[in-house]
Amino acid sequence: MALPNYFISCDWGTSNFRLRVVETTTLTILAEHKTYCGIKLLYEKFLKQREKEQTQFFADYLKEQISSLPKEHQKHIIVAAGMASANIGLFELNYADFPLNTCGNNLIWKHLVFNNNIEILLISGAKTNSGMMRGEEIQAVGLEQELKPYKKGFLLLPGTHSKHLTYDNGIYTDLKNYMTGELFEVLSKKSILVNSVSTTSSTLLEKPFLEGVSLGLQGQLSASLFSIRAKDLLQTKTKEENYFF
């Protein structure tokens, strides 16, 4: 497959859908289009109809969204990653196995051509025996040049389920998933702590935040959580301080 002058990047996650027209040589983004119709919502819509099979249903949605891009950039090949390769997505691909080369050449990929005149290069996720990711592997590949000066280290990719990748001489050797974002949401919105935390601004309260980080590093997460409620009831900390803690 010859390298094109332009391509359409498709970042199709669980909750969001993003298209970007990219100039290949400079990686300049020339146009963008975003919707909140992620894989989960579109799959629910697919289940409610019987006219189309799953892959064609998703491909038709993709074609419809491409029409929102500038006309001269609507026929480029689409490079798709994320949940598009999941079993509830466009076309299921197996996860590639760790270790992964930082250039990404041992990821699994599939070339798809549809009768609605769209052409897709679909990229797989990656897995270890205890962790997996779909989409973040593309972020890791994109950071290859940034990591070249280092022999070893860890690449942290924050998110609802944060990914921590072990890096060793040009290879990602291991992956661990941390349910940080989801756990924070559950604790702050659905647990007994709901009425003890609050935030009205995006300004970071550094002192309680670092106090929480320190206790977490000591393995004191679970043992420290109820103190949030106690500090609120005893009025020794504000709800905002508790939120950042």
The whole model's pTM is what? 0.81
Closest CA to 80 of 43, 116, 118: 118
3-class SS at 197? coil
The pLDDT of residue 1 = 63
- Given this model, what pLDDT does residue 115 score? 83
CA–CA separation, 172 and 125 (whole Å):
14
Calpha distance 83→133 (Å, rounded): 9
Residue type present at position 193: L
Tokens standing for 174? 């291991």
Q: How would you write the pLDDT of the chain (245 residues) with one tens digit per residue?
A: 678 999 999 999 988 999 999 999 999 999 999 999 999 999 999 999 999 999 999 999 999 999 999 999 999 999 999 999 999 999 999 999 999 999 999 999 999 999 878 999 999 999 999 999 999 999 999 999 999 999 999 999 988 889 999 999 999 999 999 998 889 999 999 999 999 999 887 889 999 999 999 999 999 999 999 999 999 999 999 999 999 99
Residue 81 burial class via C-beta count within 10 angstroms: exposed 0-12, middle 13-18, buried 19 and up: buried
Looking at residue 4, the DSSP 8-state letter turns out to be: P
